[in-house]
């Protein structure tokens, strides 16, 4: 019998890549939020982003995850455009 070193809950390559993409979006979102000039707005946006990602962290449906990634990218781009206009 072959012995595998992978844990029973190992991610597939596709799941791993999707996870990396989500973490990248989250990091970019937090970095962009740091550029918001008002501290109260920064706090609100940071809490909003954290809650959104936490709320969806147990999603398993690949189509739903792709849709959420698209929405997160749209929110990030919108925030970046708003900051660019405010400068």
Task: State pLDDT tens for residues 20-65.
Answer: 999 999 999 999 999 999 999 999 999 999 999 999 999 989 899 9
Residue 9 located in a structural domain: no
- Looking at per-residue pLDDT, the higher value among 11 and 82 belongs to 82
Residue 7 located in a structural domain: no
Secondary structure of the chain as H, E, C letters: CCCCCCCCCCCCHHHHHHHHHHHHHHHHHHHHHCCCCCHHHHHHHHHHHHHHHHHCCCCCCHHHHHHHHHHHHHHHHHHHHHHHHHC
Residue 4 located in a structural domain: no
Residue 58 located in a structural domain: yes
Residue 22 located in a structural domain: yes
State yes or no: pLDDT of 6 exceeds 60: yes
Residue 27 located in a structural domain: yes
In total, how many domains does the chain have? 1
Residue 43 located in a structural domain: yes
């Amino acid at each position: 019998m072959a012995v595998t070193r992978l844990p029973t809950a190992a991610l597939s390559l596709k799941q791993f890549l999707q996870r990396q993409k989500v973490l990248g979006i989250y990091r970019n979102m937090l970095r962009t939020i740091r550029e918001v000039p008002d501290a109260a707005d920064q706090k609100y946006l940071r809490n909003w982003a954290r809650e959104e990602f936490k709320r969806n962290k147990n999603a398993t449906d690949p189509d739903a995850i792709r849709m959420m990634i698209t929405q997160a990218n749209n929110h990030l781009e919108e925030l970046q455009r708003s900051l660019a206009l405010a400068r």
